[in-house]
Structure formats: structure tokens, C-alpha cells
Amino acid sequence: MTKDLFREDSYLKACTATVTASGDGFVRLDQTIFYPLGGGQPGDTGSLSWDSGTARIVDTRYVDGDIAHMLEDGATSPAVGTSVNLAIDWDRRYRHMRMHTAMHLLGTVLHYGVTGGNISAEKSRLDFDMEDTIDKEAVGAALAELVAADHAGRCRWISEEELDANPELVRTMSVQPPRGRGAIRLLEIEGVDLQPCGGTHLRSTSEVGAVRIGKVGKKGRHNRRVNLHLDD
């Protein structure tokens, strides 16, 4: 099983690793900084290099229960046992981190159940279980206030039993936190938010920067979709 270094430090941009499995268009490693597609957040992209070659990593996904780094078409996969250097496309990842933290803040402004969501570097969305109309200006102002307040963000772990004893921590209605590892990862935005999340996040809300509420859509009688944009 790959050691997921990004779970403990989202700001790691490069690392070394050893190839544990190699196939047509993919490699698995003993450890990685690459986030795999999940929780609405895209898989990381970047580069892989070793003594006799280089390759682009065009996606990162869970395949058969472990992290697979997907290589560009035609790339040669390094052999098992090869020591490799990893580097993520940091600008893209950092925008995902800004978006993901901003979406958690939005979820505290609109305190409704979350029915879905998706993150990208340019535009993200959250779907809420609500019938009420949304005042975009008021929501945008409240979101900007949380960003500017410079709330600290950090991740910590609780047991599955602790989560069972505190079911209100789970805000997502259609997806439950993954189980089976014995522990559940929480994102805590100090004084603002605490909920299970496996994604990559910021150390401070101020790093979100300029964020704007975009189109608000009605997706059924009990569903509102709110789009978010980064303005830089």
C-alpha cells in the first residue's frame, strides 16, 4: 500500500520514491505526494524522473484499492525497484487547495446538507439540500469575511468509533467517509468548520484569496447548485 504523504503535508511539492509496480501506462510507488481523484478533487499531475528516463504523470487515481500514477501515452514505465523523483504541478494543485478550503467555508455560510460537489482549478461547485433562494451578495460577503479572518486550518484523525458517536460531523448526504483504515481524517478550520475530509487544504483561510460566487442554479425542488470562482 502506497504511503500517502499528502495526507500529512499538503504543501510537499517533490519527493523521492521507489517503484513497487509497473505496467502499461502506470506506476505504483512506496510513497507519493500525488493526490488521487476523490472527494470531488481531481487527481494530481506532474513529472516522474529516474536515472535513465522521464515521464509525465497525467492523472492519479485509485486502481484496485491503491494509488496509481497514470503516465502519458507512449511513456516508458520504470522497472520495479527503480528510485524515482516526483514533482507535482504545484500551481494547479495549489488552486485545488484554495478551492477545496473555500468550499468548506461556503458550507459553513450555507449551513445545509451537501448533496454533491466538484473541484477544478478554474471553477468549482457545491450542491445543497435546500429550497430557499440564495442572496449571492450576502453569501459572497460572508465568505470573504471568513477568508480575510485568517482562520488556521489543520488536519487531525479520530477513530471510526468516535465518528460513529458524532454523526453530525458528516455534512455530505450522498457520500460517507472511507472506512477500513481504523481512523478518519478530519479537516478543522479553527472556530469555523470540523468535518471528515481526505483532500488537500490550506494552512490558513487567508490563502484562499479573491473568491467569487458565480451562477446559482436550481437542480430540482430540494437542490441548489452554487458555483465558485477564483478571481486571479
Pairing of β 153-159 and β 183-189:
antiparallel
pLDDT of residue 152: 98
CB-based contact 69:48 (threshold 8 Å): yes
Radius of gyration of the chain (CA): 19
pLDDT of residue 99: 97
pLDDT of residue 180: 65
CB-based contact 231:144 (threshold 8 Å): no
**CA gap 91, 21 in Å, rounded:** 28
pLDDT of residue 174: 67
pLDDT of residue 201: 97
pLDDT of residue 164: 87
**Of 132, 145, 143, nearest to 216 (Cα)?**
132
**CA gap 31, 8 in Å, rounded:** 12
Domains and CATH numbers, the chain: 11-88 (2.40.30.130), 93-230 (3.30.980.10)
- Give the mean pLDDT per block of 10 residues along the chain (232 residues): 95 98 96 95 97 97 95 96 98 98 96 92 94 91 97 94 88 71 90 94 98 90 91 88
